[in-house]
Each structure stands twice: as C-alpha cells, then as structure tokens.
Amino acid sequence: MGTSTVIEMDDTIVAIGSSTMPATRGVVRLTGTGVIDIAERLGIMPTSDGSAHCVDTAITLGQPLGDVPVRALIWPTSRSYTGQPSLELHTFGSLPVLHSIVARAIELGARAARPGEFTLRAFLAGRLDLTQAEAVLGVIEAEGRGALDHALRQLAGNLSRPMEFLRGQLLDLLADVEAGLDFVDEDIQFISDTDLVERLDAIRSTLATTRKQLSERTRDTSQWILALRGLPNAGKSRLLNALAGHEAAIVADQAGTTRDVVSVPVQLGDHQVVLVDTAGIESADGDSSLQQISHQAQLQARRAGRDADIRLWCVDSASSDWEPTCAAMRELAKDKRQAAIDLWVATKCDGPGARHLPDPWIRTSALAGTGIDSLQQRIIDSIESLDANEGVSILSTAARCGGSLRAAETAIGSAIDYVHGGDGHEYVSSELRLAAAALGEVTGAVYTDDILDRVFSRFCIGK
C-alpha cells in the first residue's frame, strides 16, 4: 500500500459498518475532519471536552422513515481508530434506514467510503503518529530493519521480541472483542470482562516495567559512568584518586574502607566521565554490627557496577589468591548491561611480588603513578567505541519507543476503564487498536498486514 494511493485524507467518509444481511442492529460509520459538523447537522450534540462519548438521540430522515432513534458513539479528536474524528451511529438493522442515514450524511458533505478505506486511514494514522513522535517511519525503514533491530537490542536487551509478543496478545484480545461486537445481538461474548481486564492489566504492567528500563538506559550520553570494582583493599580508591588527579576518595590500609558509592566527575580527553568508587566485594555473611551497613554497601556497589558504561575490575597484582579472585571477578562481570565494556586492571604493580601479566591486563601502580596514562587512554578508546555504537539515532529511537510505550499503556488503561464503566466494547476495541498500533511502532512491524489478517478478514468486519 504505497503512499501514492493516499488521497483525500481530509474529507469525511461514510459507510454501513454492520452486516448488510438482515440483523437486529445496524451501524453507520463516519470518519474525517467534517464528522463533528455533520453530527451536529444530524441533530447530535457532541460534548465539547474532547473525550470519546456516547449520545442517545433521534435523527430525522424525512418521509416515510421520520425520526429514527440512534445511539451515537463519538470520537471527537484524533484519538480514534482512524486517527481522525469519528462517529458511529447504532440503530435498527434495517437496510433502508441504514441507507437513508448514509444518504443523509452524503447530503451533509460526506463521501461514500471505498472498500478498506477506514483501515487505510488507521494505517496512515499510525504513520503520522510516528512522524510526530520522532522522525518519519520512512527514515527508520530506510535505515533498514537490521539497524532498528540492532538499536533495539542494545537499548533494552532486546526490546522488540517481547514487544512483538505483547502486541500479538493485544491483537488476539482485539480479535475476541471484535468478534463479540459482531455477535452482540446474540449476547455472545468471546472473552469475559474479568478475563479481559486481567490480561490487559498484565500487559500494561509489563509495558510499564519496560518503559522504566528504557528510560534508565537513555540518560544523557554526554556523560559516561565508570565504576571501579574489586575486592577490599585492591587499591580501587587510590586508583580513582590517581585517575581524578586529586584526593577524592579515602585510602586506607584497612580493608573495607569505602562504604558509600563515591562519584567523582573528571574530564578524560574530550569526554565527561563520572568515576564511581565502590565498596570492596565481600560475601554477605558475618555477624558484626557492621553487617547491615556492609550489606547495603554491597547492594549499592553491585548496582553501580551494573549501571556503568565501563567497569574497571581491579585485582592486586601481588595477591596470593590471584586465580580464584580473577575467577570470582569474571563471574560477577557477567551481570552487566549489554553495551558495557570491562577493563581488567592489575593494581599495585610496584612491589617485588607484582605479577607480569599479558593483555588484556592493564598494569598500574597508583603509588608510583605508572600505567595511569595508558589506563586513561584505554578508557578513552572504550568510550569512543561505545559512542560509535550508541549514536544519536539510538537516542531518538529510545525517545520514540518511550512515547509509543506510554501511548500503549494509556490506551490499555482507557480500555480497562471502559470495561469497568460498562461502556460498549466498541470503545474497548478502539483503544486496543491504538495500543497495538503504538506497539507496532516500537517493533517497526507493518500494522495493516497482520491486523487485516488476524482481525478484519477473520471476522469479516471489512470496515
């Protein structure tokens, strides 16, 4: 469906939205910028607060039909399935009545909708949302699906697959709700309200968690976080002071000196780096009165390590437990953000017991001031490789995804409210479509193909 077929988006279209077979209830649908005007001229007075609402009234169709009672569902703003003001008129399932309503709407300025035109507008509404949120979807498509995947993987440890899964669940729920709409006269429900709310709530809370993770990841990358990790007394604080060029952290012979997480901003080359000193890694057992403090310190240290862009794993080069210490550090290093870089630093390389270590070990002595320059250079190189990976495009993707996740959460929240409020499932399905569309933006999936396959064609809604 190319954009060349996109014409006349601003006019208002009308069609019978229900079955053209005999039925007890019928629906006429309108969408477009002129909907509110037409509604008013039909004698339906929408409220002006902008939210979706329902009005029970009668419209005059002239002889022989006279006044016909209708229930009008009104979406006065772009927050509708099509992304345009929309109106549904629910009335008797009499074809002459429905045709008369369509004819009346056409007299008032609407145009008969072409097949699939509501869906086309819905599709376009998804794209336009995306355009406003960030850049054009075309930009993302032009960068290629692979680039988007790559970006998303880096952002939240593979965001797109779980979002695709949630979107699938939403589409299934939507299909159930839509199916129920078609059988509303028979009072058949494909999913109970309780079940629906429960499943929507679960999806919503997953989305909220994901969005939180995402926003934690999309901090200002002009500042890089570097955490020093290692056993007590490994020489972390002294190394931090050497890197910072001043006495920012307390250094002492006693193991367990550093308790709080200490952050020191420094400039390394062109980069703003925050050096984070952490408590030495120790096991949580022991009965001392300091145990609580120690436990707290360990948690903070672990968190600082996990959030960092770069971690310096510091091991005393003269340590008698070199091998087990390194093994333990490697194990701890597994807990990391995907893009983080680990540097392995041998400390105290000044005494007679200091080991000679090959790459990737960086040999340093904070006491003698040796190896500090080359460590700084390795940090700068690491930042620059991170920078190349996490470019501006990823930040904008993150911004877009955050917005889309929020939109999906909001829509699901509204759907839940509509279910609780006992409002028609038409509203619920409209919100579910908005939510699915928003998640479709996250994954870059093409919305129309599968919504058509999974919902519209399956239940012949054909609107």
Instruction: Give me the least distance between CB of 337 and Mg ion, in Å please.
Output: 23
Nearest 5°: the CA angle 432, 438, 442 is 140
Please indicate if the annotation marks 278 as binding a ligand.
yes
As a whole number of Å, the end-to-end CA separation of the chain is 17
CA-to-CA distance for 30 and 84, rounded, in angstroms? 10
Nearest-10 crossing angle of helices 392-420, 425-443 = 170
Q: Does 45 bind ligand GTP (CB under 6 A)?
A: no
Q: Does 229 bind ligand GTP (CB under 6 A)?
A: no
**Considering only CA atoms, which of 463, 414, 420, 458 is closest in space to residue 434?**
414
CA-to-CA distance for 348 and 71, rounded, in angstroms? 81
Q: What are phi and psi of 310, to 5 degrees?
A: -130, 135
Q: Does 202 bind ligand GTP (CB under 6 A)?
A: no
Nearest residue (CB) to ligand GTP, 50 versus 369: 369
- Residue from 45, 255, 290, 327 touching ligand GTP (CB under 6 A): that is 255
- Residue from 109, 162, 168, 232 touching ligand GTP (CB under 6 A): that is 232
> Diameter of the chain by CA atoms?
109
Which DSSP letter does residue 186 get? G
Nearest residue (CB) to ligand GTP, 18 versus 319: 319
Nearest residue (CB) to ligand GTP, 192 versus 296: 296
Percent of residues in the chain assigned helix, strand, coil, to nearest 5: 50, 15, 35
The sign of the CA dihedral 170, 171, 174, 176 is: negative
For residue 72, give the H/E element and its range: strand 67-75
Task: Say which residues have a Cβ less than 8 Å from residue 114's Cβ, sequence separation at least 6.
Answer: 13
- Residue from 180, 235, 305, 444 touching ligand GTP (CB under 6 A): that is 235
Q: Does 258 bind ligand GTP (CB under 6 A)?
A: yes
Q: What are phi and psi of 270, to 5 degrees?
A: -90, 5
Please indicate if the annotation marks 34 as binding a ligand.
no
Q: Does 252 bind ligand GTP (CB under 6 A)?
A: yes
Q: Can you give the three-state secondary structure of 199-245, one letter per residue? A: HHHHHHHHHHHHHHHHHHHCCCCCEEEEEEEECCCCCHHHHHHHHHC
Q: Does 253 bind ligand GTP (CB under 6 A)?
A: yes
Q: Which of the choices Mg ion, ligand GTP, none does residue 255 contact, using the CB cut-off of 5 to 8 A by kind? A: ligand GTP
Nearest residue (CB) to Mg ion, 85 versus 235: 235
- Count of residues interacting with ligand GTP (CB under 6 A): 24
Rg of the Cα trace of the chain? 31
Q: Which residues bind Mg ion (CB under 5 A)?
A: 237, 257-258
Q: Does 367 bind ligand GTP (CB under 6 A)?
A: yes
Of all residues in the shown chain, the one whose CB is closest to ligand GTP is 280
Please state, in angstroms and as integers, the Cα–Cα distance from residue 446 to each residue in 1, 126, 360, 406, 452, following that order.
Answer: 11, 10, 45, 20, 11
Nearest residue (CB) to Mg ion, 237 versus 448: 237
| Sites for ligand GTP among residues 55-114 (CB under 6 A) | none
Nearest residue (CB) to ligand GTP, 324 versus 351: 351
Q: How many helices (H) and strands (E) does the chain have?
A: 15, 12
Q: Does 23 bind ligand GTP (CB under 6 A)?
A: no
- Residue from 79, 238, 271, 463 touching ligand GTP (CB under 6 A): that is 238
Instruction: Give me the least distance between CB of 293 and ligand GTP, in Å please.
Output: 13
- Residue from 83, 85, 280, 371 touching ligand GTP (CB under 6 A): that is 280
Q: Which of the choices Mg ion, ligand GTP, none does residue 462 contact, using the CB cut-off of 5 to 8 A by kind? A: none
Q: Which of the choices Mg ion, ligand GTP, none does residue 256 contact, using the CB cut-off of 5 to 8 A by kind? A: ligand GTP
- Residue from 18, 84, 218, 237 touching ligand GTP (CB under 6 A): that is 237
CA 462 and chain centroid, separation: 30
Please indicate if the annotation marks 350 as binding a ligand.
no
Please indicate if the annotation marks 213 as binding a ligand.
no
Query: Which residues are annotated binding-site positions?
Result: 29, 88, 127, 233-238, 252-258, 277-280, 463
Binding site for ligand GTP (CB under 6 A): 230, 232-238, 251-253, 255-258, 279-280, 347-348, 350-351, 365-367
